[in-house]
């Protein structure tokens, strides 16, 4: 059989929790929740939950307080980003030992470009190598493009291998809700369902013109392409480059004084400016996120006159954005994000 080009997607199972359990073997089999400082009494959200914790309905983004109510016996641990960085680098180095192209997506996942007549055998070899080097389990999706490989990993989890291509696309995906597609979230799925397009096959059969009219000339037709399984095949070994750097703070006591909010934004902006300086690229836009009580979140941004890494410019831009909000309600979270120019913009 002639060798075929494939896209593989490697996703480390419960990565952050698995790293923590690897450092603390006595926690194996127990519900482990990682988030914030590890204090469930503080305002913070779950970064990851072990499979044992997920059985209690706990998932990423949930407040630690709610997680503690659902699983009082869970072990809560603080986020340790340097540790996750180190383990992730070992995993990616292990993958690069194979004759494949590795495109890193983040701490716990990567696309692989491979040419082989036995993709499942290669996937099994990759899983064994990662386990031998780090003790971590991973799942591998096999596809004929990135979209299908990414979705295949979901069917492979945990610790499995799954192939999703044009040959079995409709058998696997047709009756699933539209948010099963990579690129369509819950809010968009609700809008699609309201338009009578609740499943993947219904979206794929929709009229492109009607989609463009309802969802925009770019997004509407793109949703239909996703439903048909269309996607990019190119896997590049270009190192992962962040699109932005952001910092945010959840306050243990709600802020009601606009002056205190401005002071908090200044601190966050200066920390973001340090990240931008370390990155060595100028920022093109500055965004501010405000989460009002109880959990009403809004984000606004401004484009800078010219890309810059100057802390004073980033700070002043953040304050300008903050002034766009009506700060007449208690605030529980503030965030500042500096976005780098896109490749087609000056300064990129």
Q: Decide if 298 contacts 325 (C-beta within 8 A).
A: yes
Catalytically annotated residue among 42, 52, 55, 109: 109
52 is catalytic: no
Backbone angles phi, psi at 248, to 5 degrees: -150, 160
Could you list the beta-strand ranges (E) of the chain: 4-12, 32-34, 48-49, 75-77, 101-106, 109-116, 138-143, 161-164, 244-255, 283-292, 296-308, 331-339
- Name residue, tokens 């469930």: 40
The 10 Å Cβ neighbour count of residue 282 is: 21
Which DSSP letter does residue 342 get?
A: P
Q: ∠ at Cα 49 (63, 189), nearest 5°?
A: 70
Question: Per-residue DSSP letters for 284-297?
Answer: EEEEEEEEETTTEE
- Name residue, tokens 């970064």: 47
**Active site members:** 109
């Amino acid at each position: 059989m002639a060798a075929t080009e494939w896209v593989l997607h490697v996703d480390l199972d419960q990565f952050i929790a698995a790293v923590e359990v690897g450092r603390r073997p006595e926690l194996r089999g127990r519900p482990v929740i990682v988030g914030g400082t590890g204090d469930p009494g503080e305002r913070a959200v779950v970064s990851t939950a072990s499979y044992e914790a997920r059985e209690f309905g706990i998932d990423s983004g949930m407040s630690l307080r709610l997680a503690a109510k659902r699983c009082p016996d869970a072990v809560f641990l603080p986020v340790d980003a340097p540790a996750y960085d180190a383990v992730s680098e070992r995993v990616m180095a292990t993958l690069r030992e194979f004759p494949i192209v590795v495109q890193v997506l983040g701490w716990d996942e990567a696309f692989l470009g491979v040419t082989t007549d036995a993709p499942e055998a290669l996937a099994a070899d990759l899983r064994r190598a990662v386990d031998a080097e780090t003790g971590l389990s991973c799942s591998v999706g096999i596809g004929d493009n990135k979209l299908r490989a990414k979705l295949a990993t979901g069917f492979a989890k945990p610790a499995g291998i799954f192939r999703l291509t044009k040959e079995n696309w409709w058998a696997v995906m047709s009756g699933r809700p539209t948010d099963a597609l990579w690129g369509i979230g819950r809010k968009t799925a609700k809008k699609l369902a309201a338009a009578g397009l609740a499943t993947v096959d219904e979206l794929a059969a929709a009229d492109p013109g009607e989609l463009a009219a309802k969802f925009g000339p770019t997004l509407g037709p793109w949703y239909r392409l996703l439903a048909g399984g269309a996607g990019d095949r190119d896997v590049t070994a270009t190192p992962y480059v962040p699109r932005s750097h952001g910092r945010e703070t959840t306050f243990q006591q709600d802020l009601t004084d606009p002056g205190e909010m401005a002071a908090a934004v200044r601190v966050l902006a200066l920390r973001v400016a340090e990240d931008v300086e370390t990155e060595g690229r100028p920022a093109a836009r500055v965004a501010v996120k405000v989460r009002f009580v109880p959990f009403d979140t809004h984000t606004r941004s401004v484009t800078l006159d010219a890309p810059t890494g100057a802390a004073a410019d980033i700070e002043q831009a953040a304050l300008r954005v903050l002034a766009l909000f009506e700060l007449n309600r208690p605030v529980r979270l503030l965030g500042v994000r500096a976005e780098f120019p896109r490749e087609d913009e000056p300064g990129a």
